Amino acid sequence: MKRRFNYTGRKRITLDRVSINVNRTDHMLESFDALIKLDDMGLPDAAKVYIEAYHHDERERYDFGTVGSIGRPPDTGLAHLAYCEHLRFRIMVVDETDERGLILAMADRIRPSGIIQKRSILPVEFCDLGRQVWKVDYSGDEPVLLLNERIPNIHNLARIDPRFHLYVYPAVIRDIFTHMFFVDGIDDIEDPAQEWHKLWLEFAKRFLADDTLSQLNPQDEGFDTGDALNWIDRLVEEFCSSRSKEWLKLLSLEEVG
Amino acid sequence: MAIIRVLTDRGTELFRDYIMEVKVDSKKSPPVDKLSHSPWSSEFTPRIELDSLSVTTRMGLGKYLVDLFEAYGVDRKDILNNPRMWSWLALLWFDSLCPVKSDGSRKILETSKYVCSSDYTDYYRHLVAASWDIYYLHRGNSRLFLWTPLYIHSDFIEQYASRQNIITNKALIEALNRLYWDSKSNRPKKGAQNRKKAGNFRRLLSFVQQVELTYDLHRMSAKDILALLPGEYDPWKQSF
């Protein structure tokens, strides 16, 4: 399914224009503040600006005024939501002179943090996965790596443990590209409609700089699924080859063990 | 009468092991005798008494639970994120969620139908938690998802309920009901789930996922959403 067709010229609000900070009382999340810079984007002053906080099946909308007069509403309370620590935010600029509410600009999956966020192509979330160590969730606008919070010290393992890096991430990469080619069905290898396809293909080019990717356009008559699988295999191999530090640490850990 | 409890780590593992075992030995009984004891479960606060389960549909179960928790003043946020309480309830009512057939065996579904997960892409597969949650969100309009017997997980739930932006949209769920619910037979219209039929509910899902990037669906009424739909949905509108 192609979700990213943009027939109406919807603009992307980049993360350097957004800052969402949460306020806590006794470590409990209470409310949030937002700084939004929409100048120079060519948006009409009268267009409405909304921020939505969401996770799971909870969603709360906050009215931040208009493009010409952005202002924090009196109540940005979050304490009534069950999943405060996992919340993501979405900013929407809506033309309400259009009776259907045309979305003029949007930014999604924003995490609360500092002034400028560096966006990872693979957001990580922690939850109870039963007896699964990890899985990739494709239900949103981009793949999200879910890690099992029941595993002790999983936050640190995922960040620094060479075994985790070499056992899990190659499989994750294989999973993501397999999904891209064979589930989503990528439409254009050079300029894919889905934003996350584009980001991950750019990531792949860091490891496989040859022109084999350009020959993998599923729209071409000569597209061969075997070639795509081979390309994914080579990509994973090159990714692993680039992890020389982790590999050496892994070997030393195994020797000690 | 039972008092609601919460499975512990050990209790959850015990339940999960049972689900694996009953797939091999379909006549094996669930470990309900461990339900009310430490170290398998712990107390839930506040103390809530449960009647014996008398409902036969998931909608009935959802309504029973919503009314129950509201009567005890329990906040939605305190139970939404409490998968082990939902797992405990599934173990308590296991005979209703996975009934014994005449030959003494059970037809067991996958683990997530009984052992609740905090992973939101699996949460909606839980037969108890999803019944409560969908009824809480949509009350009468939850019928399209919850009209089935307690042990059925319909494709309406599988396709729509795990998508946050969709299941939280009350007007959209109302529009879905207007399209696909047959009030005469009190069940979804014939063909609504037929993938070959024009305007089936999966095609609507694809359509919604495209237009939600263009229009602010959350400010629309059900009528507005229905007006957006292309011609292939006209027969579904007319037969309402």
Q: Residue A4: inside a domain, yes or no?
A: no
Q: Are residue A101 and residue A173 in the same domain, yes or no?
A: no
Q: Are residue A129 and residue A171 in the same domain, yes or no?
A: yes
Q: CA nearest B58: which of B4, B135, B110?
A: B135
Cβ neighbour number for residue A72 with a 10 Å cutoff: 17
HSE, CB side, 13 Å, CA atoms: give it for residue A9.
4
Q: Are residue A103 and residue A140 in the same domain, yes or no?
A: no
Q: Residue A137: inside a domain, yes or no?
A: yes
Q: CA nearest B206: which of B230, B227, B183?
A: B230
Among A78, A110, A142, the domain boundary falls at A110
Average pLDDT rounded to a whole number, residues A47-61: 91
Q: Are residue A105 and residue A130 in the same domain, yes or no?
A: no
Q: Are residue A44 and residue A104 in the same domain, yes or no?
A: yes
A119 confidence band (pLDDT: 50, 70, 90): low
Domain boundaries, chain B: 1-152, 163-240
pLDDT for the residue A105: 95
Among the partner-chain residues B112, B120, B214, the one whose CB lies closest to the CB of A103 is: B214
Residues of B in contact with A94 (CB under 8 A): 216, 219
Q: Chain B 184-213, CB below 8 Å of chain A: which residues?
A: 206, 209-210, 213
Cβ neighbour number for residue A45 with a 10 Å cutoff: 9
Q: State both tokens at B200.
A: 């089936």
Residues of A in contact with B162 (CB under 8 A): 139
B36 within 8 A of B5, measured Cβ to Cβ:
yes
Q: Are residue A94 and residue A135 in the same domain, yes or no?
A: no
The residue with tokens 């966006």 is A119
Q: Residue A119: inside a domain, yes or no?
A: no
A88 within 8 A of A60, measured Cβ to Cβ:
no
> Which ipTM was obtained for this model?
0.81
**Inter-chain residue contact B216 with A7, CB threshold 8 Å:** no
User: Can you tell me the distance from the alpha carbon of B160 to that of B162, in angstroms, rounded to the nearest whole number?
Assistant: 6
Q: Is B190 exposed, middle or buried (0-12, 13-18, 19+ CB in 10 A)?
A: exposed
Q: How remote is the C-alpha of B130 from its chain's centroid?
A: 3
pLDDT for the residue A191: 81
Residue A174 domain boundaries: 124-256
Q: Residue A203: inside a domain, yes or no?
A: yes
Q: CA nearest B117: which of A137, A257, A227, A17?
A: A137
Q: Is A114 exposed, middle or buried (0-12, 13-18, 19+ CB in 10 A)?
A: exposed
User: Can you tell me the distance from the alpha carbon of A94 to that of A48, in angstroms, rounded to the nearest whole number?
Assistant: 5
Each of the 240 residues of chain B gets a pLDDT tens digit; together they read 799 999 999 999 999 999 999 999 999 999 999 888 899 999 999 999 998 899 999 999 999 999 999 999 999 988 998 999 999 999 999 999 999 999 999 999 999 999 998 887 789 999 999 999 999 999 999 999 999 999 999 999 998 988 878 999 999 999 999 999 999 999 999 999 888 899 999 999 989 988 998 999 999 999 999 999 999 999 998 765
Q: How close A242 gets to chain B, by Cα (Å)?
A: 32
For residues B54-72, one letter each, b for 16 or more C-beta atoms within 10 angstroms of the residue's C-beta and e for the rest, the string is ebebbbbbbbbbbebbeee
B177 — contact with chain A (CB < 8 Å)? no
Q: Residue A164: inside a domain, yes or no?
A: yes
B168 — contact with chain A (CB < 8 Å)? yes
**Inter-chain residue contact A131 with B16, CB threshold 8 Å:** yes
Residues of B in contact with A63 (CB under 8 A): none
Among the partner-chain residues B164, B219, B224, the one whose CB lies closest to the CB of A56 is: B164
* DSSP sequence for A59-112: EEEEEEEETTEE---S--B-TT-TTGGG-EEEEEEEETTSTT-EEEEEEEEEPP
Residue A41 has pLDDT above 70, yes or no: yes
Give the residue on A whose Cα is nearest the Cα of B209.
A3
Residues whose CB is less than 8 angstroms from the CB of residue A251 and which lie 6 or more positions away in sequence, other chains included: none
Q: How close B199 gets to chain A, by Cα (Å)?
A: 16
**Inter-chain residue contact B216 with A58, CB threshold 8 Å:** no
Q: Residue A50: inside a domain, yes or no?
A: yes
Residues whose CB is less than 8 angstroms from the CB of residue A161 and which lie 6 or more positions away in sequence, other chains included: none
Q: Are residue A102 and residue A134 in the same domain, yes or no?
A: no
Cβ neighbour number for residue B9 with a 10 Å cutoff: 11
Note the residue count of chain B.
240
B81 — contact with chain A (CB < 8 Å)? yes
Residue A46: phi and psi, rounded to 5, are -80, -10
DSSP SS3 for B127: coil
Residues of A in contact with B80 (CB under 8 A): 56, 58, 82-83
Q: How close B102 gets to chain A, by Cα (Å)?
A: 32
Q: Residue A223: inside a domain, yes or no?
A: yes
Ramachandran category for residue A241: left, alpha or beta (phi over 0 → left; psi -120 to 50 → alpha): alpha
**A65 - beta bridge partners?**
A70
Q: Are residue A248 and residue A161 in the same domain, yes or no?
A: yes
More confident residue, A186 or B147: B147
Chain A positions with Cβ closer than 8 Å to B:
1-8, 10, 50, 54-59, 61, 80-83, 92, 94, 96, 99-103, 106, 127-131, 135, 137, 139-140, 146, 149-150
Residues of A in contact with B115 (CB under 8 A): 130
The structural domain count of chain A equals 2
Q: Residue A250: inside a domain, yes or no?
A: yes
